[in-house]
Amino acid sequence: MRQIVLDTETTGLEVEQQHRVIEIGCVELFNRRLTGRSFHRYLNPERDIDLGAQQVHGLSREQLSKEPTFAQVHPEFLEFVNDAELIIHNAPFDVAFLNAEFGRLEAARKITDTCRVLDTLALARQMHPGQRNTLDALCKRYSVDNSHREYHGALLDARILAEVYLAMTGGQAKFMLSAESDTARSRARQAAPMRGAEGVRIVVVQASDEEMAAHEHVLALLDKASHGNTVWRSL
């Protein structure tokens, strides 16, 4: 399965006010492994950049004045992302801006005509309801190093998001029994002992209904994230 982790930077927050994309950063995953291939372009927005946006990404109109326009790079961009699944944090924002850029071209189309889209913000909200699910918060939750993220940059953020996505959807969970886990110890004491082939005493601890329901919930989230391509479906 080919996936492209994508991020953009823009001149402002409101696509309805004709704000433009000024940076696109993409990294490629194939079968959940980083391939080393990437796509990164700065773009001339042909308009001013809001001060608030400039303080986030550090890019000025003067810096971008000699960069190509979106119209000039879009064939190369489309070739890179064609027929892949796009992984985007807060996807509606980036998709709206990309669709607006496509809409300015004569051969108008939408990014969703070319790619499927997975929103990692929506996925994180399902997995961690009621918690902060910004990219920085997810980095902290999944121990992904983002200490070098002084400014928001599309390629840097795409690389960070790739690590977060892989950790969210495939990281090995750490199963720990705390010293205060009286319930677990109680179930172990009450479990019926069994004898193995060599006479070794085996204690079987059954999962509770609540634990089984939580397990099935996580499996459903992973299955949704992979669009039905999870391993257990083929077993």
Task: Catalogue the active-site residues.
Answer: 152
How far apart CA 235 and CA 229 sit, in angstroms, is 12
List strand residue ranges (DSSP E) for 81-151, in order.
85-88, 116-119
- For residue 5, which of 27, 24, 23 has the smallest C-alpha distance? 27
- Convert 58-100 into a string of H (helix), E (strand) and C (coil): CCCHHHHCCCCCHHHHHHHHHHHHCCCEEEECCHHHHHHHHHH
How far apart CA 169 and CA 122 sit, in angstroms, is 13
How far apart CA 185 and CA 229 sit, in angstroms, is 37
What 175-179 contacts at long range (C-beta under 8 Å, 24+ apart), as own/partner pairs, is none
